[in-house]
Amino acid sequence: MSHIAYVNGRYLPQRLAQLSIDDRATQFADAVYEVTCIWNCAPVDHAAHLARLARSLEAIRIAAPCSAAGLTAICREVVERNRIERGTIYIQVSRGVAPRAHPFPADMIRPGLVITGKHGVGPSESVADQGVKVIAIPDARWGRCDIKTTGLLGNVLARQAAVEAKAFEALLYRPDGFVTEASASNAWIVDADGIIVTHPLGPEILGGVTRTTVLNLIRAAGYKVEERPFTLEQARTAREVFLTGTTTFVMPVVQIDAGVIANGVPGTICRDLRRRYRAYVEQSTASEAAWAT
Ligand code: PDD
């Protein structure tokens, strides 16, 4: 089935959809984006993704391309036209089109808006049942990882290194030894005291929408959780390690580089959280409320 993309006011077959070579997304990564999971033909945490998009736009001073209701209507149309039951939608907003020059264009330009859809989301359940291997790699990204910009070269190179090492993800660590997150997911451990730990919000990490939902599920389940940095060494010797993200859900990690985590099988807490998150996804997409902003 050919995909339909929304590009600056028009729905087009994806193979015909184009951006101007002067779109600032192409030359400066002067753009932000969101990826939302579609389940039961409806979005998971739609309002939270739109809120983060608004925050990213504000952080780099790009005007909203349209209202939240307008964006929602286009997202729905993309899901419907592409008949996506389970998959993802991608929303990208750039500063717009202008002759190449580093500063913001002096004249007001219209932000560029692209929304595309994709069938299929995340790895299979059997991958999650076995748990995955990750590699550890220095975090070589810029200082504002909280802004979801399309400037992803550090993430791309880290993920490529993971693929070449036959690993699922790359765990990123700073020179001080603290793990920030992974190339496209947030990182968590369960420490020796049974406390679930993840990096606090701040410029070092993307505030994952899944991270927030999983924090809520953790608290509702009565687990102990702390938002504080943990080191790579603490991750290597943790009881459990796992990742969260729109396309990963909750993913148990059973190996970092050559070192096996605990006894090499997914831990009970992350298996329980994966089950709870799956139930949340099912339940939250089962009604019209999924599209509420
Ligand atoms: N990435 N950290 C980074 C660096 C990410 O790129 C992502 C998501 C996350 C998890 O955020 P969320 O739970 O909101 O998906 C954390 C998306 C999926 C991507 O770039 O494709």
Cα of 62 to ligand 1 centre, how many Å? 21
Q: What are phi and psi of 117, to 5 degrees?
A: -130, 155
Tell me the whole-structure pTM to 2 decimals: 0.98
The CA distance from 3 to 13, in Å, is 6
Question: Looking at this protein, which amino acid is placed at residue 21?
Answer: I
Average pLDDT over residues 10-32: 97
Q: What single string gives the DSSP state of each residue in 5-52?
A: EEETTEEEEGGG----TTBHHHHH--EEEEEEEEETTEESSHHHHHHH
pLDDT band at 124 (very low <50, low <70, confident <90, very high): confident
Q: Is the CB of 237 under 6 A from ligand 1?
A: no
Of 247, 253, 288, the C-alpha closest to 36 is: 247
Taking only the tens place, the pLDDT of each residue in 38-91 is: 999 999 999 999 999 999 999 999 999 999 999 999 999 999 999 999 999 999
Ligand 1 atom, smallest distance to 209 CA: 14
Residue 107 — left, alpha, or beta (φ > 0 → left; ψ -120 to 50 → alpha)?
Answer: beta
pLDDT for res 283: 97
| 4-119 fold | D-amino Acid Aminotransferase; Chain A, domain 1 (3.30.470)
* Mean predicted confidence (pLDDT) in 258-278: 97
Q: How confident is the model at residue 1 (pLDDT cuts 50, 70, 90)?
A: low
Residue 123: what pLDDT?
A: 80
Name the band, by pLDDT with cuts 50, 70 and 90, for residue 267.
very high
Centroid of ligand 1 to alpha carbon of 251 (angstroms): 13
In this predicted structure, the answer to whether residue 114 has a pLDDT above a threshold of 80 is: yes
Beta carbon of 116 within 6 Å of any ligand 1 atom: no
pLDDT tens track for 174-221: 999 999 999 999 999 999 999 999 999 999 999 999 999 999 999 999
Better-predicted residue by pLDDT, 108 or 240: 240
> 265 C-alpha to center of ligand 1: Å?
25
Domain 125-282 sits in CATH at 3.20.10.10
Q: Out of 118, 133, 148, 166, pick the active-site residue.
A: 148
The whole-number pLDDT of residue 228 equals 98
| Mean pLDDT for the stretch of residues 251-280 | 97
Residue 2 has pLDDT above 80, yes or no: no
* Sequence spans of domains, the chain: 4-119, 125-282
- For residue 91 and ligand 1, the question of a CB distance below 6 A is answered with no
What's the one-letter identity of residue 107?
D
Cα 51 to Cα 249: distance, rounded to the nearest angstrom: 20
148 assigned to active site: yes
Question: What pLDDT does residue 122 have?
Answer: 81
Q: What distance in Å separates the CA atoms of residue 240 and residue 251, rounded to the nearest whole number? A: 11
Largest CA distance in the chain: 60
